[in-house]
Amino acid sequence: MNAQPKSNGSNGRCTCQRGAEEALCESEERFRSVVESAIDAIVLADQEGNVISWNRAAHRLFGYTAEEVAGKPLTILMPARYREAHQRGVERMRANGGSRVIGKTLELHGLKKDETEFPLELSLGTWKTKDGTFYSGIIRDITERKQLQDRLIQAEKLASLGTLVSGMAHEINNPIQGILGMAELIVDETDPATIKEYTQDIIGYSKHIATLVHDFACYARSNAHEDEVEVDLCERLAEAVKMVRRCPHFGAVEVVTQFQPIPRLRARRVEIDQIFVNLVTNAVQAMDGRGRLEVATQSQSGTLTVRISDTGLGIPKELRRQIFDPFFTTKEPGKGTGLGLSIVYQIVNKYGGTIGLESEEGQGATFTVQFHADNRREETHDGVPGPYYGRRADGACAGSR
């Protein structure tokens, strides 16, 4: 922590002896001890955004020694794409002292001395003295957490794929039965009109299977490198209902759709699909094969709203706070991972949206997902990227959560 501005002595230790000065020194020593022994990197910066304090954990995390970073701009710790926006945020903070990110926790990427990037969680603070405004950043490496999250998401996706595959068997094997049957009949058939009729059936059902496989491939495609596109939420919601309808547990559920034309949302399609497939699956499972599934979209004052309602068992009041928690499930052991709604919550948050729940026990449940129509990836005025990168630290969630 050699870059601390008020340290006395060459080794950074306080050498004062008496009275108020002694008390101040003791306080400073305590502070130093806490900072130096912290597991998280703690970085302090002046109002210009230059490093003035750097603890051991910061050294371990970024690879720079305190001497190497002292007085250097914070931008050396971030990938180039963040730098301009960061600088604008620092200047804005200096000009009017306002910032939306102070006091919040953000997920960003850091840049090590060896130029490698890593995901980090940053808690920002600020304080003022007669010398100006100073910043504190507590930084945690979340590489492992992100990797674990990715693995769990992949596992959940595979689990939901398993359910869909079972449903696909019905959708594919039935037309194949027709195709095979018709083809075998044609072999011995001599009437040209009948041959033509069966051939047309074969063509029609082959096309039907091709469409199914295409839809399925779209869902199953790895999302790792998919770019954001303008997503039609009505289309994706209808597609999700179609996907889940193929699952064995869909049964005799009645589907009611109320789609209003709404602006497209900029997002990765597979993630929007995952939100809707998970919510629709959840609704259908709550009804145990019988009931009414209502899916609706609407747009008002720049807010895109998607509602998914069921007439199932509902969610008891005492469980409503937990339903978005990872691994929380009310299903029998082995029947559910407890990640479905957690992933929904995570993706909705990623796009700056909110998700709410209204439910009465025994009277079904309604999940309401809302996004801002203009969610395009933009840098905020605080020098950090917008909701595309940053988790909403306030965990905003409407309804009873």
Partner 1 sequence: MECQDPITAGGQMGRVLVVDDVAVVRKSIRATLANAGYDVVEAENGKQAIRILQEQERAEPVPINAILSDLRMPQNNGTELVAYFRRQYPAIPVVVLTAYPDVELAVSLMRQGVMDFLVKPVLQNELLAVVKKAVEQQGRGKQQG
Binding site for partner 1 (CB under 8 A): 166, 169-170, 172-182, 184-185, 188-189, 191, 194, 198, 201, 205, 248, 251-252, 289
Backbone angles phi, psi at 365, to 5 degrees: -145, 150
Element (DSSP H or E) covering residue 237: helix 233-245
Contact by Cβ (8 Å): 99, 93: yes
CB of 287 to partner 1, least distance (A): 14
Residue 44 or residue 168: which is nearer to partner 1 going by CB? 168
Residue 288 or residue 325: which is nearer to partner 1 going by CB? 288
Q: Specify the 3-state DSSP secondary structure of 48.
A: coil
Residue 10 or residue 190: which is nearer to partner 1 going by CB? 190
CB of 253 to partner 1, least distance (A): 9
Show Cβ contacts of residue 77 under 8 Å, excluding neighbours closer than 6 positions: 43, 62, 69, 110, 111
CB of 172 to partner 1, least distance (A): 8
CB of 254 to partner 1, least distance (A): 10
Backbone angles phi, psi at 359, to 5 degrees: -160, 145
DSSP 77: G
Residue 147 or residue 177: which is nearer to partner 1 going by CB? 177
Strands 354-359 and 254-259, bridge-based pairing: unpaired
CB of 280 to partner 1, least distance (A): 17
Residue 142 or residue 241: which is nearer to partner 1 going by CB? 241
Residue 291 or residue 385: which is nearer to partner 1 going by CB? 291
In this structure, what token pair is assigned to residue 401?
């959560």
Contact by Cβ (8 Å): 170, 246: yes
Residue 80 or residue 252: which is nearer to partner 1 going by CB? 252
Contact by Cβ (8 Å): 110, 117: yes
CB of 178 to partner 1, least distance (A): 3
Contacts of residues 53-57 at CB distance under 8 Å and 24 or more positions apart, as own/partner, are 53/1, 53/3, 53/4, 53/5, 54/1, 54/2, 54/3, 55/1, 56/1
Element (DSSP H or E) covering residue 52: strand 51-54
CB of 103 to partner 1, least distance (A): 54
